[in-house]
Amino acid sequence: MAFFDYKNIEDFKEQCGYEIDGRWYPRVTKIVGIKSKPALYRFYGAAESYESAKAMTEKSAEEGTLLHEVVQDIMIGNSPEIPELIRPAVEEYKKFADLKGIQIDPKFIEKRIYSPSRRYAGTIDAIAVIDGKVGVLDIKTSQAIYRDYNLQTAAYMDALSPSIPKLETRWILRIDQNKKCLKCQATLRPKGGREKIKRSRITPCKDEHKWSDLQGIVELQEFPFWKDDFRAFLAAKFLWEWENDYWLKKINYFNN
Confidence of residue 228 (pLDDT cuts 50, 70, 90): very high
The torsion angles phi and psi of 111, rounded to 5 degrees, stand at -95, 130
Structure confidence at residue 11 (pLDDT): 96
Q: Check pLDDT > 80 for residue 45.
A: no
Interval 64-123: pLDDT, tens? 999 999 999 999 999 999 999 999 999 999 999 999 999 998 999 999 999 999 999 999
Phi then psi dihedrals of residue 163, to 5 deg: -95, -15
Q: Which of 10-14, 48-52, 224-228 is predicted least confidently?
A: 48-52
The string of DSSP letters for 179-203 reads EEBTTT--EEE-GGG--EEE--SSS
Query: For the whole model, what pTM was predicted?
Result: 0.90
The percent of residues in the chain predicted with pLDDT above 90, rounded, is 74
Q: Which CATH number fits domain 2-255: 3.90.320, 3.40.50, 1.10.287, 1.20.120?
A: 3.90.320
Average pLDDT, the chain: 91
* Residue ranges of domains in the chain: 2-255
Rounded distance between C-alpha atoms, residue 31 and residue 2, angstroms: 13
pLDDT at 3 over 90: no
At residue 81, the pLDDT reads 95
Residue 234 has pLDDT above 60, yes or no: yes
